C-alpha cells in the first residue's frame, strides 16, 4: 500500500511475531489493520486431501485471468510441481475450472465471484444463497458488493466463510467422512455464533424458551418453510427440543406425497429429537392429514422401544452428543452471551444434526458415544452447574439417556391429550400406547414423575405449576412432625421439580433439618442419602432459599466425615454447587461458590481428589471467569497440591 513508511510495516511484522497464533491470525484477517500497516498476508491454501498447496494470491489471480480469457495459466505448488489451470466449456454455455498435473485432474468449485462479468458474479451468489439458505441480510450485503466489482482475495475469503457457516454445509461435510477416519470435535461443533443463528434462529433477548418460540423461533421456522418446504420442515425438526417450538412448525405447505416421504425418511434415518417433533406435529394435524397415522404409530414405537441400556440405543447416542456439543460450546464460550436455554437449544439441535448424519453413514454410534462422553463431559457438567444460578430447575444429571427418553414419553402423552377426541376416533393401537395404561403404554414404562421433570430448556419454567393443596398438606404434615426421619423429606424432594414449591415449604425443610440435629434417622443406604441431599440442594436452588442452602452445606460436611456413607469429593462438589444456585445475584453466588470450593480444597483430599477437584475448578473458572475473584486462592492451593 503506497504512502506507508517501510519502517512502519517492518515494526508491525516484528511485533506480530510475539503475539499468540490466534490473535496474530485475527489481526491479519482484519482489513483495517493490514491496510494501516501495509501488510499483505502470504496465505497458502491446499486443494483437497491430496491436492496441491498454492499461494492464495497467485491462485486467485490465475482464476481471474482464466475467467477473463480462454488462455490457460501455469502455477507452481509447494513441492515445485507445475499445475495447469484451464477452463472447460460445457453444454448450454456452462464452464468448469480444471486444475491438472500429469495424470492428476481436479475440478474446482465455481469462482465466478472473481469474474469481470457482473451477471456471472450475481448468478453464482444467488445459486449459493439458495442452496445454503443464506439469510436475506447476508445475501443483500454480498449482492451490493458484487454489483460494484469482482471480489478481492480477502472478500472472497469472507464470502466463503459466510456461506460455510451453514448447517447445510456441515450436514454434507459429516456425510462425506470416511468410515474409520479420525473426527475432530471442531469438525462437528463449529465455533461460530453465526452458524448457530442459522441453525436455530438468532437470539432475540427472550427470557424463556416460550417467549423465544413466540418471537424469533416462529420467524425462523417461517423462513425455513419459505426457503424450501420439504427441506425447511426437515431442518425445523432440529428445533424439537421444546413443545412450544414444535407448535410453531407448520406442515401446511407440504402435499401428501412430500409429507409421506419426509416421515418415511425419519423412520429410516431420523434421530430421536426429530422423531419426537414429527410425532407432536403429526398428532396436531392428524385430524386433517390422516396419511401420517401409520408413520406416527411406528415413530412412537421407535421412541418407546429404544433400550437406553443397550449398545444400539439412539437415545444414548443423542445424550452423549448433547454432552459433547454443549461441553464444546462451554469450552469455546461461543454462546456465552446468551442465556443457558438458548445455548442448550443450539446444542440439542446440533446433536440431532450430527446423529442424523451418523445414522445415514451407518457409523458405530456406541463407540462414538463413549468418545463423546470422554471428550467434553467435565466441561458440560461444570457449565450446567454454573447455569443453575440463572435456570435452577434443570440439572446436568437430567441429560442421562433414560431421563431424556422419559421426558419424550411425557411430551408425547401431553401432545396426545391435546387431541384426545381425534385419537379416540382413530387407530386403537396408537391411542393405547399414548393415552392408555396397558403393559405397552408410555405411562407404564417408567416412573410417572420422571415424565414430568423439567426438560433441558425448562430451567426457568414450571413457575406457573402451583402446588396442589393436598400435596402441600402432605409436605407440611411430614416436615412438621417432631421426630422427622429421612422419609419425611421425600414428598418435598419429589414434587419440587414438578410444582412451584414456596419459600414456606423450603423453610419447613430447613427447620426439620435443624430439629434432627443434621443427622437423618432411618437411613438404609448411601443411595438414599444422596437422593435426599441432592433433593434438598435442588429445593434450595429452586426456591432461592439461602438458609436451606447453608443447611445442605453442613449436611454434606457432616456426612463427608462419616465412613459409613463415604460421600466422594465429586458428589460433594455437585451437591454444593447445586445448593449455591440459591444465591441468584452474581456477587453472592460467586462468594458462596468460593467458600465451598475453598473448604473442599483445604480439607481432606484422598487419592486423586486434588487432581479431580482442580480439573473441575478450572472448567468452572473457564465457564464463569468472575469466579477467579473468590476461587483464586483455592486454585493456587490445588495446583501446588497436584504438582508437589
DSSP readout, 501-512?
--HHHHHHHHHH
Q: Report, as an integer, the average pLDDT of 549-554.
A: 97
The verdict on 285 and 328 lying in the same domain is yes
The answer to whether residue 483 sits within a structural domain is: no
User: 41 or 540: whose pLDDT is higher?
Assistant: 540
The answer to whether residue 463 sits within a structural domain is: no
434-460 residue pLDDT tens: 999 888 899 988 766 788 889 999 987
What is the strand order of the sheet 73-76 is part of?
Answer: 73-76, 82-89, 95-101, 104-107
Q: Report, as an integer, the average pLDDT of 365-393.
A: 90
The verdict on 103 and 127 lying in the same domain is no
pLDDT at 202 > cutoff 50: yes
The answer to whether residue 177 sits within a structural domain is: no
479-538 residue pLDDT tens: 998 889 999 999 999 898 888 888 999 999 999 999 999 999 999 999 999 999 999 999
Helix (H) or strand (E) holding 55: strand 53-55
Dihedral, CA atoms, 154, 159, 162, 168, nearest 10 degrees? Answer: -140
CA distance 12 to 101: 38
The verdict on 524 and 393 lying in the same domain is no
The verdict on 124 and 269 lying in the same domain is no
Q: Which residues sit opposite 98 in a β-bridge?
A: 86, 107
Helix (H) or strand (E) holding 45: strand 44-46
CB 97 within 8 A of CB 83: no
Domain boundary (414, 442, 469) is at 414
The answer to whether residue 464 sits within a structural domain is: no
The verdict on 305 and 400 lying in the same domain is yes
Domain boundary (369, 395, 414) is at 414
Q: Show Cβ contacts of residue 233 under 8 Å, excluding neighbours closer than 6 positions.
A: 224, 225, 249, 251, 254, 262
Q: What is the pLDDT of residue 499?
A: 87
* Parent domain of 30: 6-37
The answer to whether residue 537 sits within a structural domain is: yes
CB 404 within 8 A of CB 303: no
| Total domains, the chain | 5
The verdict on 158 and 270 lying in the same domain is no
Q: What is the CA radius of gyration of the chain?
A: 29
* Res. 1 pLDDT band, cuts 50 70 90: very low
What the block records as the C-alpha cell of 575 is 451437591
The answer to whether residue 493 sits within a structural domain is: no
Rounded to the nearest 5°, which phi and psi values hold at 464?
Answer: -85, -5
pLDDT at 70 > cutoff 80: no
CB 246 within 8 A of CB 240: yes
Rounded to the nearest 5°, which phi and psi values hold at 74?
Answer: -95, 145
The verdict on 199 and 139 lying in the same domain is no
Q: Show Cβ contacts of residue 602 under 8 Å, excluding neighbours closer than 6 positions.
A: 634, 637
Q: Show Cβ contacts of residue 326 under 8 Å, excluding neighbours closer than 6 positions.
A: 343, 344, 347, 376, 380, 383, 384
Domain boundary (365, 389, 414) is at 414
CB 497 within 8 A of CB 393: yes
CB 233 within 8 A of CB 225: yes
The verdict on 321 and 373 lying in the same domain is yes
The answer to whether residue 305 sits within a structural domain is: yes
The answer to whether residue 208 sits within a structural domain is: yes
The verdict on 150 and 231 lying in the same domain is no
CA distance 393 to 391: 6
The verdict on 193 and 286 lying in the same domain is yes
The verdict on 516 and 575 lying in the same domain is yes
| CB neighbours of residue 281 within 10 Å | 26
- Comparing 84-93, 224-233, 474-483, the range with the smallest average pLDDT is 84-93
For all residues of the chain together, what is the average pLDDT?
90
Q: Report, as an integer, the average pLDDT of 367-387.
A: 90
Q: Report, as an integer, the average pLDDT of 77-102.
A: 79
The verdict on 95 and 197 lying in the same domain is no
Amino acid at each position: 500500500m503506497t504512502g506507508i513508511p517501510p519502517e512502519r510495516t517492518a515494526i508491525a511484522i516484528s511485533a506480530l511475531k510475539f503475539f499468540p497464533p490466534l490473535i496474530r491470525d485475527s489481526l491479519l484477517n482484519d482489513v483495517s489493520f493490514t491496510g494501516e500497516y501495509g501488510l499483505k498476508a502470504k496465505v497458502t491454501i491446499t486443494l483437497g486431501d491430496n491436492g496441491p498447496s498454492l499461494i492464495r494470491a497467485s491462485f486467485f489471480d490465475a482464476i481471474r485471468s482464466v475467467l477473463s480469457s480462454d488462455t490457460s495459466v501455469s502455477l507452481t505448488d509447494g513441492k515445485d510441481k507445475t499445475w495447469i489451470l484451464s477452463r472447460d466449456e460445457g453444454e448450454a454455455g456452462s464452464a468448469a475450472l480444471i486444475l491438472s498435473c500429469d495424470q492428476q485432474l481436479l475440478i474446482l468449485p465455481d469462482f465466478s465471484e472473481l469474474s469481470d462479468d457482473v451477471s456471472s458474479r450475481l448468478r453464482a451468489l444467488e445459486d449459493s444463497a439458495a442452496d445454503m439458505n443464506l439469510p436475506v441480510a447476508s445475501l443483500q450485503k454480498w449482492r451490493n458488493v458484487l454489483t460494484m466489482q469482482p471480489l478481492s482475495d480477502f472478500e472472497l475469503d469472507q464470502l466463503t466463510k459466510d456461506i460455510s457457516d451453514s448447517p447445510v454445509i456441515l450436514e454434507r461435510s459429516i456425510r462425506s467422512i470416511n468410515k474409520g477416519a479420525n473426527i475432530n470435535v471442531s469438525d462437528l461443533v463449529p465455533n461460530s455464533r453465526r452458524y448457530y443463528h442459522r441453525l436455530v434462529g438468532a437470539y432475540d433477548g427472550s427470557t424463556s424458551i416460550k417467549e423465544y418460540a413466540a418471537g424469533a423461533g416462529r420467524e425462523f421456522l417461517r423462513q425455513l418453510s419459505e426457503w424450501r418446504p420439504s427441506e425447511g420442515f426437515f431442518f425445523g425438526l432440529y428445533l424439537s427440543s421444546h413443545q412450544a417450538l414444535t407448535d410453531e412448525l407448520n406442515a401446511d405447505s407440504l402435499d401428501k406425497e412430500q409429507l409421506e416421504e419426509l416421515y418415511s425418511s425419519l423412520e429410516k434415518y431420523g434421530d430421536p429429537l426429530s422423531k419426537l417433533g414429527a410425532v407432536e406435529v403429526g398428532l396436531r394435524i392428524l385430524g386433517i392429514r390422516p396419511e401420517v397415522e401409520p408413520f406416527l404409530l411406528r415413530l412412537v414405537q421407535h421412541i418407546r422401544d429404544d433400550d437406553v441400556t443397550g449398545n444400539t440405543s439412539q437415545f444414548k447416542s443423542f445424550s452423549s452428543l448433547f454432552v459433547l456439543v454443549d461441553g464444546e460450546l462451554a469450552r469455546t464460550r461461543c454462546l456465552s452471551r446468551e442465556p443457558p436455554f438458548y445455548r442448550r437449544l443450539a446444542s440439542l439441535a446440533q446433536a440431532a444434526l450430527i446423529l442424523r448424519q451418523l445414522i445415514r453413514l451407518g457409523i458405530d454410534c456406541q463407540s462414538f458415544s463413549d468418545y463423546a462422553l470422554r471428550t467434553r463431559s467435565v466441561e458440560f457438567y461444570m457449565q450446567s452447574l454454573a447455569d443453575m444460578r440463572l435456570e435452577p430447575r434443570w440439572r446436568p444429571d437430567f441429560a442421562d439417556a433414560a431421563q431424556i427418553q422419559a421426558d419424550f414419553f411425557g411430551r408425547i402423552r401431553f401432545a396426545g391429550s391435546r387431541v384426545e377426541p381425534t385419537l379416540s376416533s382413530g387407530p386403537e393401537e396408537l391411542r393405547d400406547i399414548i393415552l392408555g395404561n396397558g403393559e405397552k403404554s408410555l405411562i407404564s414404562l417408567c416412573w410417572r414423575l420422571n415424565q414430568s421433570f423439567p426438560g433441558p430448556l425448562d430451567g426457568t419454567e414450571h413457575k406457573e405449576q402451583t402446588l396442589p393443596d393436598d400435596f402441600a398438606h402432605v409436605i407440611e404434615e411430614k416436615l412438621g412432625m417432631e421426630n422427622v426421619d429421612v422419609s419425611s423429606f421425600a414428598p418435598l424432594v419429589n414434587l419440587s421439580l414438578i410444582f412451584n414449591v414456596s419459600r414456606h415449604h423450603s423453610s419447613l425443610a430447613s427447620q426439620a433439618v435443624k430439629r434432627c440435629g443434621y443427622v437423618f434417622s432411618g437411613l438404609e443406604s448411601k443411595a438414599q442419602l444422596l437422593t435426599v441431599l441432592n433433593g434438598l440442594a435442588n429445593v434450595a436452588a429452586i426456591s432461592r432459599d439461602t438458609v436451606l442452602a447453608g443447611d445442605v452445606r453442613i449436611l454434606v460436611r457432616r456426612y463427608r466425615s462419616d465412613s459409613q456413607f463415604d460421600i466422594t469429593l465429586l458428589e460433594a462438589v455437585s451437591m454444593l454447587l447445586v445448593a449455591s444456585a440459591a444465591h441468584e445475584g452474581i456477587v453472592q453466588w460467586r462468594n458462596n461458590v468460593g467458600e465451598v470450593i475453598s473448604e473442599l480444597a483445604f480439607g481432606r483430599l484422598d487419592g486423586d481428589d486434588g487432581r479431580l477437584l482442580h480439573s473441575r475448578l478450572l472448567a468452572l473458572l473457564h465457564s464463569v471467569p468472575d469466579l477467579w475473584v473468590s476461587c483464586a486462592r483455592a486454585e493456587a492451593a490445588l495446583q501446588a497440591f497436584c504438582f508437589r
